Amino acid sequence: MKVVIIGPAYPLRGGLATYNERLARAFRAAGDEVRLVTFSLQYPDFLFPGQTQFSTEAGPADLDIEVSLNSVNPLSWLAVGRRLRRERPNLIVFRFWLPFMGPALGTVARLARGNVHTRVVAITDNVIPHEKRPGDAPLTRYFLSACDGFVTMSRAVLADLQRLGFGQKPALYRPHPLYDNFGPARPKAEALAALNLSPKFHYVLFFGFIRAYKGLDILLEAFADARVATLPVKLIIAGEFYEDAAPYEALIHKHDLESRLVRATDFIPNERVADYFSAADLVIQPYKNATQSGVSQVAYHFGRPMLVTDVGGLAELIPAGVVGYVVPPAAGAIADALVDFYAHDREEAFAAGVRQEAKKFSWEVMVAALKEVAQLS
């Protein structure tokens, strides 16, 4: 089968690019011919909240990546769409995560499937965005209406598709596969040494871009709990601020938390991911709303217990009491779980549960689902 994946990929950086590149390798392992089409311009600089959109690492030499799509230039949409219509791939997989991308991706999809041969299937991270803006609904509908079918990575998004009126199109739920491309886990002592962290403390990890919906403020409030303050535990904040850091700094100052934090608030390159996860006893996702999270699948790969909040689709992949905790998005509930985790020394038992559950999340299953939806359309 001839497959094209359209979405972020090298030289862009971040979880979406990592996912799409890993998916391309899974298609290739299944015997398919695969090419990635990525953005020459993903976001205009004034819309991008981070330091840079581009990777400083070497590119993946084993993948065919075309850098040609400009999110704000309709001429590039027309050129890419018309070329794909002529090339007639069997399947185009779009990665859709933000209404802003609706015009570009929707136009390419309409043009490409005009050959009445190519099937268009979207992996829909979100169809209702975490941070809502005017115009979200029409931009999203423009893209969704150009697709033949969908694969979602949470049941919540599957339900959202139905609520938006796309329930008549083929759609399957398949959980986010493991992020198994960051190398193996390291012994905790080695990871701590690599990060220059003292072995006298325990560490919990908040990982990923920092945005309001991810609830770092709730986690900081939990660390201010008097019971947690007595534990020899530090919080690693590993991820770049994608919004104003001032409210978080105010909380840190208010509760005198600085000495109990490890700050790594720059973008974490792929080669350092193993160190942060291997150093942590527990990975915490205190989200206020969510659909799914790739952070869970990184934690599964590294065998790390998790604490997630019971919002969106997060809890779907985290069996409470088996791999960790599922709690309300409240500082007191998170503090309760932290105290329980250390008071009852639950790391080893939860880690064993993580290793068992991780067997369920394979890239082969995702590839099969995308092909199944294409055949049903």
Fold classified for 2-177+362-376: Rossmann fold (3.40.50)
- Residue 152 and residue 172 in contact, taking contact as beta carbons nearer than 8 Å: yes
Would you give the distance in Å from CA 194 to the centre of its chain? 25
* pLDDT number for residue 267: 81
Distances (CA, A) of 66 to 3, 12, 18, 198: 13, 12, 15, 44
Q: Tokens for 11, please give them.
A: 């030289």
Radius of gyration of the chain (CA): 21
> How far apart are the C-alpha atoms of 56 and 331, rounded to whole Å?
36
* pLDDT number for residue 129: 74
- Residue 291 and residue 273 in contact, taking contact as beta carbons nearer than 8 Å: no
Single out the residue of 12, 137, 147, 2 nearest to residue 70, CA to CA. 12
H helix or E strand, kind and range, residue 5 = strand 2-6
Strand 306-309 and strand 233-238: the pairing is: unpaired
Q: Tokens for 345, please give them.
A: 């020394």
Instruction: Please provide the DSSP assignment of 131-164 as one string.
Output: S--TTHHHHHHHHHTT-SEEEESSHHHHHHHHHT
Sign of the alpha-carbon dihedral angle for 161, 167, 171, 172: positive
Q: Is 64 helix (H, G, I), strand (E, B) or coil?
A: coil
| In this structure, CATH architecture of domain 188-360 | 3-Layer(aba) Sandwich (3.40)
Ordered by start, the domain boundaries in the chain are 2-177+362-376, 188-360
* pLDDT number for residue 170: 96
Q: Is the pLDDT of residue 46 over 70?
A: no
Per-residue pLDDT tens digits for 61-79: 999 999 999 999 999 999 9
> How far apart are the C-alpha atoms of 186 and 11, rounded to whole Å?
27
Q: Alpha helix (H) ranges present in the chain?
A: 15-29, 74-87, 102-112, 136-144, 155-163, 188-194, 216-223, 226-229, 246-254, 270-279, 294-301, 331-343, 347-357, 363-376
Mean pLDDT, residues 349-372 taken together: 95
Q: Tokens for 153, please give them.
A: 């990575």
> How far apart are the C-alpha atoms of 283 and 264, rounded to whole Å?
15
Q: Is the pLDDT of residue 44 over 80?
A: no
Mean pLDDT, residues 30-57 taken together: 80
92-101, 128-137, 192-201: segment of lowest average pLDDT: 128-137
Which strands sit side by side in the sheet containing 261-264, from one edge to the other?
261-264, 233-238, 202-207, 282-285, 306-309, 324-327
Distances (CA, A) of 51 to 99, 205, 240, 242, 289: 22, 22, 8, 9, 25
Q: Is the pLDDT of residue 54 over 80?
A: no
Mean pLDDT, residues 19-35 taken together: 97
* pLDDT number for residue 156: 87
Q: Tokens for 365, please give them.
A: 């299953």
Between helices 363-376 and 15-29, what is the axis angle to 10°?
80
* pLDDT number for residue 29: 97
Buried/exposed 235-256: b ≥16 CB within 10 Å, e otherwise:
bbbbbbbbeeeeebeebbeeee
Q: Is 36 helix (H, G, I), strand (E, B) or coil?
A: strand
DSSP state of 186: -
Q: Tokens for 30, please give them.
A: 């299944």
Task: Decide if 2-177+362-376 and 188-360 have a common fold.
Answer: yes
* pLDDT number for residue 120: 98
Mean pLDDT, residues 200-206 taken together: 98
Higher pLDDT, 267 or 86: 86
Q: Residue 176 — φ and ψ, nearest 5°?
A: -55, 125
Q: Which residue has the tokens 């690492």?
A: 57
Q: Tokens for 185, please give them.
A: 């886990």
Q: Residue 351 — φ and ψ, nearest 5°?
A: -60, -40
Q: Is the pLDDT of residue 48 over 60?
A: no
> How far apart are the C-alpha atoms of 6 and 301, rounded to whole Å?
25
* pLDDT number for residue 138: 93
> How far apart are the C-alpha atoms of 273 and 134, rounded to whole Å?
36
